[in-house]
Every structure is written in structure tokens, then in C-alpha cells.
Structure 1
Amino acid sequence: MNYPWKNLSPKDGFKVRQNGLLSDMDQKILTFLYQPLIGATAYSLYMTLWTEVEDDKYWSDGILHSELLALLNIGIPELYQARIKLEAIGLLKTYVSSEQEKNFVYELLSPQPVHVFFKDDLLSLLLFEKVGERKFRKLRQRFTSNSVNPKEFEEITKSFLDVYHFDSQLFNQEKNLLTEPVELVGATESTAPQLDSKQFDFKFFYDGLSTQYINRSSITKEIEKTIIVLNTMYGVDELKMQKAVLEASDIDTGKVDDRKLKQLIYDQYHQTNQQAVHVKDVMEEVIATSKTKRQFRKNELKHQGFTNEDIAVIEVSETMAPYDFMTSIKEQKGGFVAKTEEWTLENLLKRANLPSSVVNILIHYVLVVRGNPTFTQNLADSIANDWSQDNVTSPERAIQKVKELYQENAAKKQKREEQQKSYSKSKPATYRNNQASTRKETLPEWAKDDYQETEEKPMSKEEQEAFMQRIKRLEKQN
């Protein structure tokens, strides 16, 4: 399963850069105007990232995504969905390092000022469709302030030169200092969401209007942006837009009234559609599809005879990178990933023609099923060679191979014990005693008669339960 959030891991680090200090007004704009558009999760993500930056600072300390997931109580897909919503609406820029160890930078952008928000066709129409006319008017009224009545009050404000003396000579002396290029806080302006204009054929649109009374110059860049928004939101094609523009134009001057144009399109749409415009969230569909596929796959694995524990390991193996998977197991066992293990894993991934999920099952076999303290190269290469030659391409097939290995070793052990018992019974007691008394302890362990290979067995029940609890927590995060 290949989903957009697959390359985002709870173990990835990130820092937050704040472009400027959020004012009380910014917070109100985010809460009342942006939250209806982006939803509660994206709003919570923005506010959480904002609080990660300490007062009077513009960069946060390094943080793991696992901490963010715990704070928001969501998984990786929901985090990714919330993040791209903030990006699309113009509240966030995301950067990722090009180094092997993945790190992100989340740059928070200030929301649009109120006067810009309500003048922006896309933002204002989205809000209008989301909350309805009554609530829209109420929200706009919340940010409306009457100006001072000039009939009642006379302005007596002093100008700069009325109060301060301007020394032009000093300005010339310090001119170089004042013009030094520095990156100041707030220099990056907030951006409104952008739409693709390619889907609307303006050439065909203008060709149809060329024979009409409308002045070409009256359709300004601002009106073109309005046309793109109306085309995107309400699906108005070029022919219908020509008709609407004609109705919204002054027959004497040929000028287009953009407010009338928006009202016409809105009325026409809602005459035939009783419901508000539904803005489709692409990621919601992808997440829903992934959940459906995941459930289907889980049912399929159960039908094939895999246990719930097997399925949990399979699912986690498909969502984590091998290094993260190994680190997680080592931490559960109270250990750490040694440098030699890093090199072994890196060489294995380069040389073995095995998917990452299969490599994860191999790691699980060595460190959990066998209970080995380290991931050694000889053993890893031997198993990887066997699996590559046997064309093991899925984690479930890898688990089947693990079970086959376990059963094979158990059978060998039983056969060896039976042979040893049979051999011992066939010898006279005096011979066995003499053999025991003359045995030399200088022999290596593997050469002794009573040598037995280390039994390959699972963790104890308590250790296994603790490990599965951790697997379930990782599964929830992904």
C-alpha cells in the first residue's frame, strides 16, 4: 500500500519556525474565519505548532513527530491530512532535509488580515458556503468597526514634521547601515490559496464576448480571478460565464460589476442545488480507502490462518522503515542499535532484493523470535539469501518462512535428542563412565558430546504481551 504519508514516520524530527508574532486579532481570525474551512484537527495542529515556539523566539527546539501525535491524539494519516490543509489555505510552509536522517521544518504563516480575507473571493465564498448567509453576516459583523464620524469630530492629529526635526545630513551618513540586507521577522507575507487558471479557457471566453458591448479592458485581473473562483466552486463553464458577465455588465459603460456577477452565479447554482457547495477533501477519500483496504487485508490474513499477533506485526512492518523498526524493538528490550548493526542493515538493504516490510520481518525473527541481543551480519545474510532465492516478496510470506524455520529447527532438535538417547542406551555403563572420566575440558563447547544448539523460542508470555502492546501503539500512530 503506497500512500502519501508513508514517508512520514513518528521517529522523524522537526522544528517550527514562526514568521512573526501572532496577535490576539490573528488568533480570532484563525478561530472564527479559518477553522470552519480547515476543520478542528488542522486548527489544533496550527495552534500546537505555534505554542512549541517559546516567547520572544522564532525557532522551536527539535521535536519528534511521535510527541506531536500524542498531543493531538491522532495517527500519521490524520496528521498528514491536517498539515496539507494548512499548506493549501496559506497558513504553513513545509520543508524537508535532503540528508539521510529525515528532518522537517514547519514555517507558520500569519492568517490574512480581515479586510483581505473578506475581499478574497475564494476565502470569502468558501466561508459563505460553509456557514451559510446568516452566520456569514454575523462573522463579518464581528470584525466590523464604524469609523469616526467627521461630522461630529474634527481630526487634530499632528504630522511627523510637526513633532520631529528631520536631520537629512545624519540620514546620508547612516544610509549604508539602513539599507543593509537582513531577514527581518514578518518579511514573508501571508499568502492566500491559489487556484489553477488552466482549466478555464479564457481565449474561448473572450472570443465569445468580442461581438458584445463589453469593453475588454473592463475585465480586470481581479475579475479574472473571480471568474476562476466561480468556475472552480460552481462549475460554470465558458459559455455560461459569458452570459453571466453580460448580465452583470452595465449596458451603457460596458463595465462589469463583480459583486453582481458573484450574486448571479450563486443564485443560479442554488436554484437547482438545495445544498451548499461541498468542497471535496481529497485526503479524506484516500484515508477512507486506506482504512477499507486495511480491513479487507486484515480479514484476508485471518482467513489464511494468521493470528492477531501475526497481523499486527505485518501491519507495522509495512508502515515503518527498517531502521525505525529495529530501533523500536531494541528500545522495547532495553537496548540500543549498535553501529555494526546499522552497517549490517544498510548493507542488507543495498544487496538483498527484499522489500522493506520483509526486512522488518527478518529483524523481528532475529531479535524477537530467536531472542538474539544483536542483529549479526552472518545470520542476516544467510536468511536474506534464502528468502531472496525463494522469492519472498511479502511480509506474510516472510512470517510463513519464519514458522517453517522454527518448525524445522524444532524437528532437528527433537531428532538430535532421540539419537543421543539411543546412542547412550546402546553403550555399556562402564564405557560411558570411562568416557566421562577421560573427557578433556580443553575441547571447545561445540565439540562436546552434550552440546546443544541454543533453542530458538519466542519471548516469555509477559515479554510477548509487552512487545505486542508497543506494536499496537506504533500501529495507532501510523
Structure 2
Amino acid sequence: MSYPWKNMSPKDGFMVRQNALLSDMDQKILTFLYQPLIGATAYSLYMTLWTEIGEESYWSEGILHSELLTLLNVGIPELYQARIKLEAIGLLKSYLQTDPEKLYVYELLAPQSSAVFFNDDLLSLLLFETIGERKFRNLRSRFVVAPLNKEKFQDVTKSFLDVYRFDAELFKQEKALLKEPVELVGATQPEGPTIDAQTFDFKFFYTGLNSHYINRSAITKDLEKTILVLHTMYGINELAMQRYILEASDMETGNIDERKLKNVVYHDYHKNNQKNVQLQDVVEKDIQVDQKQQKVRENDLKQQGLSEDEIKIIEVSEQISPYDFMTSIKDQKGGYVTKNEEWTLEEILRKANLPSSVVNILIHYILVARDNPIFEKALAYKISNDWAQNKVFSPEMALQKVKKMYSENAEKQQTVKKQYGNQRQTNYGKPVKTRTETLPEWAKEGNTAKAEQPMSEAEKQAFMERLKKIQNFGKEGD
């Protein structure tokens, strides 16, 4: 199964754009009204993006997603989940550029005002269902302003022309300047969440109402939105909605009482359902499935006899693209990826037809296990050719190949020691050499072969620290 967050990498850059001026009241609305709907992680993401924006520039500097993952202490799936929650609720728009480099732009949108929020059927009903009636009333009271009794006061406010005068001719001269097309912060009005009407057949719904006394003109566009919200939240089909509309209608005028419609739907639903309506995040289920699959795979690898460290290597190899994997290792070693290494990697990926995870094991073997300063071309070609020919199509198979190379190289060193240790002089003063077994041709890594010894505890600890860094601050990547 392909998960959408697999296309994101901690190495991907992003910038934040502020679409509207955000005030202290906006922050209060976000905290008390939006946070119960979107959750703590999405709320933290919004506030973190907000703090990245420079003063009076309304744009942030370029940032890596890895920084977000560290600040929020989440992985790529959870970051993606938080992002789309903000998008769905109308607080964020996301844009992606792929050429010449991958770059996201996150545009922060202002929340709705408290008046709009509580008058919006979808937002207010979702909040009501999420926190319950008592808490809903308490929260709403935070934004209620005491009315002014205007009967006791006289309005003495001055109008504009009572206070100011201006030169009409000068206004005409500067009219062109005033109409220059510029995009000003705060010019865009906040957008609330929208619901797709595809699941509700309004044509069938209206056909059923024609036989009743309902005044068709009484169902306004706003009432249609309410009907769609009730259909979406409570699962009411077209026939049931006709019945509720009739119940909320005035028999004499044919008009519909929207408040009554909401009440009858709400009470009818909760008469048969003890629990409040729960927002079901579609990504949450995918994340749980992905985590379950990872757990099953981890158990399978343990049954194959792999150690915790080896399983960790495999997991990281499956999460990060080969280029990012190589770059991470080079960064930690204080080096850099050369053009020749890039070309070598590209050619192996193109010609060997090996999975990215297998190529990552190859990179790890050459740069970490052998501690080579570069991704050695000849060695990389030899091993990738062998793995392609032997159908090494999983990281665990590649790791077994690596372990075999360790064993063969250790055997080779032992043979060499025995060979020179057993030399003896003949009567003629010439050395006699013992016979040695030959290794497979591809495993003879030429004069550049480096003797491999088992890692010490200190080296092992350093390796695990490096592996954590390669994992790159998050739990998922490419």
C-alpha cells in the first residue's frame, strides 16, 4: 500500500507565507475553538509555522522539514497528518514545487472570527459534538460581549466628512497609484472548511419534496449547506432528510425553521446513539495500519535471527532515499557527496534495478562498515552486479550478503596468516607455500580490499548514534 507521506522527506525544504495578520484574539480562537477539532499536534504545527515568519516580510527563511520534526517530536506520518488537518479546517494551504528543486510553501490562513465560527453549522456542530454541551456553553461565553443598551445612550459619533476634507483633484491624479495591483496582507478573507456535495443527491431530495406543501424557495443556499452538514455528520440520507424537513416546517407558510431542523436531527440521532459524533481522521487509520505492518515485519526479522541493531539498519534503509542516506552519512563524517558518487549511485539505481533499501545497505557497507571515505565506484559496481544477478531484492537479503562478506574476508585473513606462518625452508633454502582455497571472483576486491574486523563496543555505540542521525529526526522519510 502506498501512503501519501512517503513522498515527503526530512530533507525537503519549505517556506512559510503569512496570508493574514494574526492577532492575540486569533490565537485565543485557535486555542479554545480550533484545537479541540484538530488536536494538539496540528495546533502546535500552526503555532510553530507562525513563529517562523519574519517581521514585516510575511515570509520565512528556507527551512528543512527535519527541523519541524525535531521541534514537534513527531515523525513524517504524524507531520503529514497534522498538516492536512490544518488544510481541511481552513487554516493552511500547501503548495509544492518540484523543479529545479523540491520546495513546499505553507500559507497560513487566519481562523474564522468567533461570530462566524459559532454561526457556521459545520464548525459549531463539530465543536459541540467534540466537547459536549456544558463545555461548549462555557467556551462560547468567553467570546460573548455584553450588549449596549442604546436606549439609554445617544449616538454622538462623527462621520468621516464631519472630521476630514480632501482635494478631489489630487485624488484623481493619484488614482492610478492607488489602483496598482499589489497583494496586501489581510486582503484574503478566512476560509472555513467545505464539504463535497457528491454524496447527497439534491435532485432526488427535491423530487421527493414536490408532493408536499414545502415552499421550495424556503430552502436557501445557506439551508442547503446546513442540510449537507447534517447529512455528513449524522449519516442522514435523502429520504430521512425529507422527513426532518417536513418536521421542521411551518404547515401554514411552508417555511423551514433551521434551528428546529438541527434540534430534531440532533435529538433523533442521540436517542439511538450514546456516544457523540467522533471526527475520524482518514490518515490515522493508515498510520495505524502502517505501524502494524512495521511491527509484523519487525517480528518476522527477529524470527530470521537478526539482531536489534540489524533490524534498525533495515528499518532505516527502507525509510530514506539512497541519495539522502548517502548524504546523511557523509555529513556525519564531515565530508560531502561528490559528483562522481552521484553518477555512480544514479547508474546503479538505473541499471542494477535494485530496491532503494538494498542500495542503502550497499552504501552503508562501503561508507560505514568498510569506513571508506568515498562510495568507491569499482567496488560498488562489483557488489551491485552480484546482488542483481543473485536476485537480492530485500534489505535483509543484502544484510546477509554483507555478513557473508565479513565471514569470507575474515577467512581470507586467516588463510593468509596460516600461509606465511607455515612457510618452511627446504634443503635448498627455498620456501615451500601451503595450498590455499580461492574466493569467488567478485569477492576478491583487489589490492584496495580492507581487512574487516568485528566492531568494538565503542565503535558499535558510535555506529548506533550515526544510525539515529541517519534516521533523520523523524520516524519516516522517502
TM-score, normalisation: structure 1: 0.92
Post-superposition offset of 1:427: 4.3
1:477 corresponding residue in structure 2: 474
Which structure carries more relative contact order (alpha carbon 8 Å, separation 6+)? Answer: 2
Structure 1 CA distance, aligned partners of 2:448 and 2:102? 45
Relative distance call for 1:460 and 1:188 in structure 2 (3 A) is farther
Question: Compared with structure 1, are the counterparts of its residues 179 and 305 closer, same or farther at alpha carbon in structure 2 (3 Å cutoff)?
Answer: same
Counterpart of 1:151, as a letter, is E
Task: Kindly indicate whether the alpha-carbon contact (under 8 Å) linking 1:370 and 1:458 is maintained by their aligned counterparts in 2.
Answer: no
Whole-angstrom distance in 1 between the partners of 2:114 and 2:286: 33
Equivalent position amino acid for 2:111 in 1: P
Residue 32 of structure 1 pairs with residue 29 of structure 2: no
Shift of 1:274: 1.2
Residue-by-residue CA offset, 1:408-453 (whole Å, 9 max, x unaligned): 333333334434444x325458446xxxxxxxxxxxxxxxxxx894
Q: Report the AA paired with residue 276 of structure 1.
A: N
Cα distance in 1 between the residues matched to 2:261 and 2:68: 45
SS in 2 for 1:318: helix
- Conservation of the 8 A alpha-carbon contact between 1:369 and 1:457: no
**Equivalence for 1:164:** 164
Q: Is the counterpart of residue 418 in structure 1 residue 418 in structure 2?
A: yes
State the 1:168 CA deviation.
2.2
Residue in 2 that maps onto 1:352 = 352
Q: Deviation per CA, 1:2-21: give whole Å up to 9, x if none.
A: 42222222222211111122
Name the structure 2 match of 1:438.
Answer: none
The number of aligned residues is 460
Q: 1:165 to 1:283 in 2, by over 3 A?
A: same
CA gap 1:179/1:453 in 2 versus in 1, 3 angstroms: closer
Q: Does 1:149 align with 2:149?
A: yes
Q: How far 1:79 sits from its partner (Å)?
A: 1.2
Sort the Cα spacing of 1:120 and 1:335 in 2 relative to 1 into closer, same or farther, 3 A: same
- Is the CA contact 1:248–1:256 (under 8 Å) kept in the aligned structure 2? yes
Number of the residue aligned with 2:385 = 385
Alignment of 1:160-309 (within 5 A): 160-309=160-309
Conserved in 2, the CA contact under 8 Å of 1:371 and 1:457? no
Any idea what SS the aligned residue of 2:104 has? strand
Q: Percent identity?
A: 62
Counterpart code for 1:289: V
Q: Give the CA deviation at 1:102.
A: 2.3
1:405 aligns with 2:405: yes
Cα distance between partner residues in 1 of 2:243 and 2:466: 62
Give the Cα separation in 1 of the matches to 2:304 and 2:352.
Answer: 27
> 1:62 is aligned with what amino acid?
G
| Cα distance between partner residues in 2 of 1:100 and 1:397 | 36
Give the aligned partner of residue 462 of structure 2: 466
Instruction: Single out whichever of 220-229 and 187-196 deviates more from structure 2.
Output: 187-196
- Is the Cα contact below 8 Å between 1:371 and 1:458 reproduced in 2? no
Once the two structures are overlaid, the 10-residue window that deviates more, 172-181 or 326-335, is 326-335
Structure-to-structure mapping, 1:8-27, within 5 angstroms:
8-27=8-27
Q: Secondary structure at the match of 2:319?
A: coil
Deviation at 1:459, TM superposition (A): 4.7
Deviation at 1:113, TM superposition (A): 1.1
Between the aligned partners of 2:198 and 2:181, the Cα distance in structure 1 is: 37
Report how far residue 219 of structure 1 moved: 0.6
SS across alignment from 2:424: helix
| C-alpha displacement of 1:56 | 2.5
Aligned counterpart, 2:368? 368
The answer to whether the 8 A contact 2:325-2:470 is kept is: no
What is the CA-CA distance between 1:269 and the residue it aligns to? 0.3
Kept in 1, the 8 Å contact 2:410–2:453? The answer is: no
CA contact (8 A) 1:214 1:255 kept: yes
Query: Contact between 1:94 and 1:105, CA under 8 Å: does it hold in 2?
Result: yes
* Post-superposition offset of 1:36: 0.6
Matched, 1:112 2:112: yes
Contact 1:371 1:456 in 2 (8 A): no
Shift of the 474–124 alpha-carbon distance from structure 1 to 2, 3 Å rule, reads farther
TM-score by length of 2: 0.92
2:328/2:469 contact within 8 Å kept: no
Q: Distance in 2 between matches of 1:428 and 1:16?
A: 84
Q: Return the match for 2:451 from 444, 449, 455.
A: 455
Matches of 2:280 and 2:115 in 1, distance apart?
27
Contact 2:18 2:59 (8 Å CA) reproduced: yes
> 1:263 deviation in Å?
0.8
Give the secondary structure class of the aligned counterpart of 1:105.
Answer: strand
Measured against aligned partners, the alpha-carbon deviations of 1:188-207 in whole angstroms (never above 9, x if no partner) come to 32211111101011111111
Shift of 1:175: 1.5
Alignment of 1:439-450 (within 5 A): none
Structure 2 residue aligned with 1:65 = 65
SS in 1 for 2:366: helix
Shift in alpha-carbon separation, 1:354–1:259, aligned structure 2, 3 A: same
Q: Deviations over 1:337-367 (max 9, x none)?
A: 2222122212222222011111101101111
| Unpaired stretches in structure 1, ≥5 consecutive residues | 433-450
- SS class of match (1:477): coil
2:45 maps to 1:49: no
The separation in 1 between residues aligned to 2:283 and 2:191, in whole angstroms, is: 22
Distance in 1, Cα, partners of 2:424 & 2:34: 84
CA contact (8 A) 1:9 1:65 kept: yes
Query: 1: CA distance between counterparts of 2:287 and 2:22?
Result: 32
Partner of 1:322: 322
How many angstroms does 1:76 deviate by?
1.7
Question: Which 10-residue stretch deviates more, 468-477 or 58-67?
Answer: 468-477
SS in 2 for 1:331: helix
Deviation, structure 1 residue 100: 5.9
Paired residues of 1:12 and 1:102 also in contact (CA < 8 A): yes
Corresponding residue of 2:81 = 81
| 1:144 CA drift (Å) | 1.3
Question: In structure 2, what residue type is equivalent to 1:386?
Answer: D
Does the CA contact (< 8 Å) of 1:370 and 1:457 recur in 2?
Answer: no
2:160 and 2:407 map into 1 onto residues whose CA distance is 90
Counterpart code for 2:50: W
